[in-house]
Amino acid sequence: MKRYWLVFSQAVTVLLAAYFVVVTLKPEWVRQRAVSTGTTGVSLVEAPAPAAPGYVPAGSLRQAAQRASAAVVSINTSKGPSRQHPYANDPWFKFFFGDQANNHPQAGLGSGVIISAEGYILTNNHVVEGASEIEVVLNDSRRTQAKVIGTDPETDLAILRVSLDRLPAITLGNSDALQVGDQVLAIGNPFGVGQTVTSGIVSAVGRNQLGINTFENFIQTDAAINPGNSGGALVDVNGHLMGINTAIYSRSGGSMGIGFAIPVSTAKQVLEGIVKEGVVTRGWIGVEPAELSPELMETFGVKTRKGVLITGVLQNGPAAQAGIRPGDVIVEVAGKPVSTVSELLSGVAGLKPGVPAKFRLQRRDDGVDVDVTPGKRPKPRSLAQQQQPQQPQYPQVPQLPR
């Protein structure tokens, strides 16, 4: 009898040890099988409450959303009545064309991101463009009027500032390190329903030639982005800001799984220029670039297949003074390879005016290095001429409506 009792006690000890090991290392194995009887008298299978208050399910992006959401704001804008036709009040004009009067202010909707506890907010230029009043609504329901510090239509970015205390600023991430397949969250106020978080992955990086902005280097994502998300945050799994949601590909006006965000690396350059100097200063060398094509390669006698062909050089411009000629192919700018006109434009724009930079050229069979001292990029055309809302440059990739 003593022998059986010893065997029994050893078996119970082993089973209890195994149970404690499972509870410690794999608690979900036990919780998923917890059975309880509800108040209805029906036996139900229910998961018990989390073991700790801060318990986060595996794979959840809850912490990233919580970290970033506090710094994402809603932006409400209003504009005065649109201009009337000079003959709008003429009876004959009304007879033929109807009443064209529009005396009601126009309302707009967008999002923004608090990037500094000093009150600086990053958003899209098209969200606040032409607005007479800008109201910012924080995630904690506080409301205040915002002032436009500066805008940069060529990247579609704007900097606002509010005067409030205890502002939650977002942490800026490294957008240059993003890779296709990385998880991201899009946070904003779509359709005015309230702050919304959607998830997806990075679908592509370095998207350009979309005809949306002058300088394009978009992050493409399949996280749902809709009207009202403009100016909102694209964050990584740590809640760090990776980009500013700007545009969508859509035939219906809603999300089709193709959205575009401006990298935070671009936003930081714009912020620094606007805060320090009031404007964004970019480099300029005075050339007419073109993509390499078989026809142009034959015309100019180009041998290389990589780079950007220079078809024209402004007389006495920075490029001409450095010795760049029509027919040259620019293959590197300040040590960075360029293969498209967009890359050349962005590379030159990133140069500091007045500071020489090394350009690598391919001139027929010879490689040539020249030092170019860029000038200051001329101011762009007025926004009214540059962007016509009724006739977008790339209809299938419209900017998010305000």
Q: Is the pLDDT of residue 387 over 70?
A: no
In order, the DSSP letters of 294-320 are HHHHHHHT---SSSEEEEEE-TTSHHH
Rounded Cα distance, 345 and 286, in Å:
11
> Residues with Cβ < 8 Å from 252, sequence gap 6 or more?
none
On whether residue 111 sits in a domain, the answer given is: yes
Mean pLDDT for 31-37 is 51
Residues 270 and 293 in one domain: no
From 114, 93, 230, select the one nearest 162 (Cα to Cα).
Answer: 114
Please tell me the total count of domains within the chain.
3
Q: What is the pLDDT of residue 389?
A: 35
Q: Which CATH number do you get for residue 333?
A: 2.30.42.10
Domain boundary among 139, 161, 183: 161
Q: What is the pLDDT of residue 174?
A: 92
Residues 179 and 276 in one domain: yes
On whether residue 48 sits in a domain, the answer given is: no
- The active-site residue, picked from 230, 250, 255, 342, is 230
Tokens describing residue 305: 């297949």
In a 3-state reduction of DSSP, which class is residue 332? Answer: strand
In a 3-state reduction of DSSP, which class is residue 370? Answer: strand
Rounded Cα distance, 201 and 181, in Å:
5
Rounded Cα distance, 127 and 137, in Å:
14
Residues 73 and 111 in one domain: yes
On whether residue 90 sits in a domain, the answer given is: yes
Q: What is the pLDDT of residue 201?
A: 95
From 234, 229, 245, select the one nearest 201 (Cα to Cα).
Answer: 234
Lowest-pLDDT choice from 168-177, 280-289, 378-387: 378-387
On whether residue 287 sits in a domain, the answer given is: yes
**Is 126 part of the annotated catalytic residue set?**
yes
Residues 184 and 136 in one domain: no
Residues 198 and 131 in one domain: no
Tokens describing residue 216: 């394009």
pLDDT digits (tens, 9 = 90+) for 44-81: 777 666 666 677 777 788 889 999 999 999 999 987 65
pLDDT category of residue 333 using cuts at 50, 70 and 90: very high
Residues 269 and 210 in one domain: yes
Lowest-pLDDT choice from 44-58, 168-182, 312-326, 376-390: 376-390
Domain boundary among 133, 161, 189: 161
Q: What is the pLDDT of residue 50?
A: 66
pLDDT digits (tens, 9 = 90+) for 350-379: 888 899 999 999 888 888 899 999 998 887
Domain boundary among 161, 196, 217: 161
In order, the DSSP letters of 111-171 are EEEE--TTSEEEEEHHHHTT-SEEEEE-TTS-EEE-EEEEEETTTTEEEEE---SS--PPP
Domain with 90, as residue range(s), is: 68-161
- The active-site residue, picked from 156, 222, 236, 328, is 156
On whether residue 237 sits in a domain, the answer given is: yes
On whether residue 402 sits in a domain, the answer given is: no
Q: What is the pLDDT of residue 390?
A: 34
Q: Is the pLDDT of residue 98 over 80?
A: no
**Is 156 part of the annotated catalytic residue set?**
yes
Rounded Cα distance, 257 and 252, in Å:
12
On whether residue 225 sits in a domain, the answer given is: yes
Residues 152 and 183 in one domain: no
Residues 295 and 266 in one domain: no
Rounded Cα distance, 296 and 3, in Å:
97
Q: Which CATH number do you get for residue 86?
A: 2.40.10.10
- The active-site residue, picked from 69, 74, 111, 126, is 126
On whether residue 27 sits in a domain, the answer given is: no
